[in-house]
Chains A and B, each alone.
Chain A
Amino acid sequence: MPIPSCHREFQHPIASEITPRAVYEERRELLRLWAAGAAGATLAAWAGREALAEATRPGKLAALPGGASAVAGAMSLEKPTSYQDASTYNNFYEFGTDKADPARNAHTLKTTPWTVEVEGLVKKPGKHGIEDLLRLSAQEERIYRMRCVEGWSMVIPWVGYSLAELIRRVEPLGSAKYVEFVTLADKARMPGLGSRVLDWPYVEGLRLDEAMHPLTLLAFGMYGELLPNQNGAPVRLVVPWKYGFKSAKSIVKIRFTEKEPATAWNKAAPQEYGFYSNVNPMVDHPRWSQATERRIGEDGLFAKKRKSLMFNGYEAQVGQLYAGMDLKKLF
């Protein structure tokens, strides 16, 4: 793709675009391993995981294969949560506030035709059909940890590509500082919209450099298949180092703005849900500790909860985005 010069100017100041030391050091480490002949074992583990992902394909929806991602930190080696758990226990308030509600009620969601409108401070605003979005860049599999603000976690193999791929193509203006994501709000198909729990439509947002980070995923599938409705079909965001609610589902609009977007949970309870909402075991939710989490399907009834990790374990990849920020204040 030819890259216009203004594009380059825009890209230049983004710290996340500079190959972090950890990444190139990791590459050198890998080369060293190859040279040392240890690559065989590494590759075997790699292939083994792919075989595992293949074996756990639930066979419920159309396949959406993705090659293993090369993005640093994108392939967690932890055991993926079962598809059954990941697709029946989640929050999607548009379909009800109980975590079993989305799986029960989301069959009413109609995902075709579907368009995502890109608007605001970009050179190329416009509507993108879901078919075009699916083909916009190569689909990758990414195994991410998912930490819910409520204190539970999963490991989910998503399929998608870096949101940055889309952002580069729509060419944000220099004045664009934030990206806002709007979820569908269709009263006829989403029974949860009848309640006034949140201010609909559900709006989430990221700083532009967060949105451009290669780990920020525009996901179309999980477990090698298209997303089930209850998990945010046909297209959603996955920001693995932030609490789950930051990852907007069933996106219909992506808007580039100069001001920090007013996000749904922040509007509902500003003292409890900050704009950043990075996973941070040191900063408790006002009403509960965030130091530990329960891994769904893995930690038994009587097992102690496991310790939560700074930036959900993605500190090496995303820590530099928040250098110098007081994360206690900007929680």
Chain B
Amino acid sequence: MNKLLMHPAAKPVIFGLALLPLMWLVLAAATDQLGANPAEALIRSLGEWTLRMLCLVLAVTPLRVVTGTPALARFRRMLGLFVFFYAVLHLLAYAWFDMGLDGAEIARDIAKRPFILVGMLTGLVLLVLAATSFNRAIRWLGAARWRMLHRAVYAIAGLAVLHFYWMRAGKNDFAEVAVYAALLAALLVWRVWHHRQQRYKAPTPVQASGIH
């Protein structure tokens, strides 16, 4: 498994797979396959794919440790950037299709709707993490500080679920929200549990890799 993941083609393959949802959405929009309200379908699907990517990137470390496949770590940054990528498209679709790219209208909407405000905040934190995702940024910040900063991904998870929850509150329908909340919570709880386990054991250099 490790060998397969270390293959030079592995990264391009994952990259291509992560682009598939977007390609499908573009194709569906072009061929009128998105139902009666394509704008709504696009905005929502892009939001859902952002959440799915977030679950994926947060699953990398638990999977790596549990299955003993260190090579998985290679894909973490790319998947993290795909979270940002889909979030940007989600925001763009909202700003364009729902708000007609009207800045004043968007400002009013942020003030009006708490879930939009939360979505924007999530986007801002994501932007900071994406902007500090390259190697040189790690060097500038220093590994310890960089790691602290990038723990903000947990805040992103919380904010994203709150955003989705609030959006669905109107429909009083939380089934899907609960699925994502449970998934993300499980991934976070695993980290806390794992961290404690590590502490009980004799300190090893592994611990230095943090709880990501």
Interface size range of chain A in the complex: 20 to 34
Distance between Cα atoms of A272 and B170 in the complex (Å): 8
Interface size range of chain B in the complex: 20 to 34
Q: Shortest CB–CB separation between residue B194 and chain A, in angstroms? A: 35
Q: Does A145 contact B (CB under 8 A)?
A: no
- B15-45: CB near A (< 8 Å → 1, else 0) gives 0000000000000010000011111101000
Residues of the B chain whose Cβ atoms lie less than 8 Å from the Cβ of A99: 35-37
Residues of the A chain whose Cβ atoms lie less than 8 Å from the Cβ of B169: 287
Scan residues 134-176 of chain B and give those whose CB is less than 8 A from a CB of chain A.
Answer: 166, 169-173, 175
Q: Shortest CB–CB separation between residue A303 and chain B, in angstroms? A: 8
A287-B115, A288-B113, A305-B100 are contacts. A269–B37 as well, Cβ < 8 Å?
A: no
**Secondary structure of the B side of the interface?**
helix
Q: Shortest CB–CB separation between residue B40 and chain A, in angstroms? A: 8
Residues of the A chain whose Cβ atoms lie less than 8 Å from the Cβ of B42: 301
Q: Does B112 contact A (CB under 8 A)?
A: yes
Q: Shortest CB–CB separation between residue A135 and chain B, in angstroms? A: 33
Contact B171–A296 (Cβ < 8 Å): no
Residues of the B chain whose Cβ atoms lie less than 8 Å from the Cβ of A288: 112-113, 170
Closest B-chain residue to A88, C-beta based? B36
Contact B97–A301 (Cβ < 8 Å): yes
Residues of the A chain whose Cβ atoms lie less than 8 Å from the Cβ of B114: 287
Q: Could you give 6 example pairs across A and B, Cβ below 8 Å?
A: A99-B37, A100-B35, A195-B175, A288-B113, A297-B36, A302-B96
Known: A195-B173, A285-B170. 13 other contacts (CB 8 A): A89-B37, A198-B172, A284-B112, A287-B169, A288-B112, A294-B37, A294-B39, A296-B36, A301-B38, A301-B42, A301-B97, A302-B97, A304-B100
